[in-house]
């Protein structure tokens, strides 16, 4: 180390020796830092370009929904194939499921909704994902429409933060499964969770039907 009591020439000689010994290591370290900074800036720039591109393509897809001359389903599927990891793909999958259902293709609608659920981030920080919850709710409705009452119920029970609509649909499933006690419990939960008086009135009618 540099001796504070040494002469200036001795210190200079020591530093020169130190530099000769470690100069390549120091240069490499500086070079790595520079490359890291450049890489971060380039990555950030590429990400911004990617986000802008996907945003524009998503807007183009949404606009195509109002046009009779554009195949929205094909456009949506092309986007999902090109950008499967984009959040826009999950939003498009919701729209495609609706379009397929309206065309009578319940199987393909089911595929799209399942795709959303399977491609939702399951990280420990991800407690509530509105897109995933919407997909599960719509898939549960689809199961109910196909008289798959148990499948619908099982799917709804996987939703942690349940809303009034979810409790009501769970109760409907129990009614179809002839489990009126469980249906009653969930109708009451739905009433408690709902701020809408009109919704509460509908639930009260459902309750009266099973009492």
Instruction: Give the CATH number, domain containing residue 68.
Output: 1.25.40.10
DSSP secondary structure, 67-134, as one string: -TTS-HHHHHHHHHHH-TTSHHHHHHHHHHHHHHHHTT-HHHHHHHHHHHHHTS---TT----HHHHH
pLDDT of 3 over the 70 cut: no
**Domain shared by 30 and 51, yes or no:** yes
Q: What per-residue confidence (pLDDT) applies to 169?
A: 96
**Domain shared by 127 and 211, yes or no:** no
- From the number of C-beta atoms within 10 Å of its C-beta (0-12, 13-18, 19+), residue 42 rates as exposed
**Domain shared by 81 and 153, yes or no:** yes
CB atoms within 10 A of CB 157: 14
Bigger pLDDT: 83 vs 64: 83
**Domain shared by 16 and 92, yes or no:** yes
CB atoms within 10 A of CB 70: 14
CA 171 to CA 168: how far, in whole Å?
5
Residues ≥6 apart with Cβ < 8 Å to 161:
127, 128, 133
- DSSP conformation class of 178: T
| Tens digits of residue pLDDT in 66-121 | 775 568 899 899 999 999 888 889 999 999 999 999 999 999 999 999 999 998 87
Contact status, residue 187 vs residue 167, Cβ threshold 8 Å: yes
**Domain shared by 60 and 145, yes or no:** yes
Residue 3 lies in a domain: no
**Domain shared by 101 and 182, yes or no:** no
**Domain shared by 190 and 137, yes or no:** no
Domain hosting residue 101, numbered range:
9-161
Alpha-carbon separation of residue 95 from 73, 75, 99 (angstroms)? 9, 12, 6
Residue 86 lies in a domain: yes
SS3 content of the chain, % helix, strand, coil (to 5): 75, 0, 25
| Tens digits of residue pLDDT in 134-171 | 999 999 999 999 999 999 999 999 999 999 999 999 99
Contact status, residue 139 vs residue 117, Cβ threshold 8 Å: yes
Bigger pLDDT: 178 vs 71: 178
Alpha-carbon separation of residue 121 from 86, 117, 124 (angstroms)? 12, 9, 9
């Amino acid at each position: 180390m540099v001796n504070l009591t040494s002469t200036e020439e001795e210190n200079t000689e020591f530093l020169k020796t130190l530099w000769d010994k470690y100069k390549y290591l120091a240069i490499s370290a500086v070079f790595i830092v520079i490359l890291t900074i450049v890489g971060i800036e380039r990555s950030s720039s590429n990400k911004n370009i990617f986000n802008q591109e996907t945003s524009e393509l998503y807007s183009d897809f949404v606009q195509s929904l109002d046009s009779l001359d554009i195949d929205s389903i094909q456009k949506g599927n092309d986007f999902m194939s090109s950008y499967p990891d984009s959040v826009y793909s999950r939003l498009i999958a919701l729209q495609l499921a609706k379009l397929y259902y309206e065309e009578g293709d319940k199987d393909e609608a089911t595929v799209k909704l399942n795709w959303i659920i399977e491609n939702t981030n399951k990280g420990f920080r991800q407690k509530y994902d509105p897109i995933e919850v919407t997909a599960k709710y719509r898939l549960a409705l689809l199961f109910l429409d196909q008289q798959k009452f148990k499948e619908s119920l099982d799917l709804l029970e996987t939703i942690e933060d349940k809303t009034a609509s979810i409790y009501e649909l769970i109760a409907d499933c129990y009614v179809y499964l002839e489990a009126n006690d469980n249906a009653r419990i969930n109708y009451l939960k739905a009433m408690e969770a709902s701020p809408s008086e009109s919704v509460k009135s509908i639930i009260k009618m459902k309750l009266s039907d099973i009492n």
